């Protein structure tokens, strides 16, 4: 007897917890999907983006704050990227404080000469 495929219903993950952070699905403006989670009171967005390395295309996870003021490194694993954000809280919180005060995005302001 042949096995009949059934409709699996909605997407498998409605939320997931990684390193103690509850991640929920997020729809980006360009139509791609990813995850969002709050770490130390700051909303972080995680998505998988295609990156060109030489002639080979790779998909890597990327992370950034919802206001795009700072981000994390690219990673092959969502779990490792969430762990990086948790581990480097002091660093990115300091960057956010400075960048918000000077209204700069993804670049630290240059010191006065």
Question: How many separate domains does the chain show?
Answer: 1
Q: Note whether residue 8 is domain-resident.
A: no
Determine, yes or no, domain membership for 32.
yes
Containing structural domain, residue 53: 16-102
Model pLDDT, residue 19: 85
Predicted pLDDT at 105: 73
**Nearest C-alpha neighbor of 67 from the set 93, 44, 37:** 44
Query: Is the whole model's pTM more than 0.85, yes or no?
Result: no
CA atoms of 98 and 23, how far apart (whole Å): 27
Domain assignment present for residue 111? The answer is: no
pLDDT of residue 91: 92
Between the CA atoms of 80, 81, 86 and 91, what dihedral angle is there, to the nearest 10 degrees?
130
Domain membership of residue 86 (yes or no) is yes
Q: Which residues are bridge partners to 63 per DSSP?
A: 46
- Report whether 97 contacts 61 (CB < 8 A): no
DSSP code of 20?
T
- Determine, yes or no, domain membership for 5: no
Q: What is the pLDDT along the chain (113 residues), one digit of tens a residue?
A: 566 666 555 556 577 888 888 999 888 888 788 899 999 999 999 998 876 666 666 788 999 998 888 899 999 889 999 999 999 999 999 989 988 888 777 666 666 65
Handedness of CA 38, 42, 47, 53 (dihedral sign): negative
Q: Write out the H or E segment, with its range, that includes residue 88.
A: none
């Amino acid at each position: 007897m042949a096995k009949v495929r059934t409709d699996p219903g909605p997407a498998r993950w409605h939320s997931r917890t990684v390193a103690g952070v509850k991640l929920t699905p997020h729809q980006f403006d360009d139509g791609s999907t990813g995850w969002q989670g709050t770490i130390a009171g700051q909303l972080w967005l995680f998505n998988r983006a295609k990156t060109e390395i030489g002639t080979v295309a790779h998909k890597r996870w990327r992370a950034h704050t919802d206001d795009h003021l700072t981000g994390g490194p690219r990673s092959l694993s969502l779990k490792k990227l969430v762990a990086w954000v948790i581990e480097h809280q002091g660093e990115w919180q300091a960057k956010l404080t400075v960048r918000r005060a000077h209204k700069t995005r993804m670049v630290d302001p240059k010191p006065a000469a």
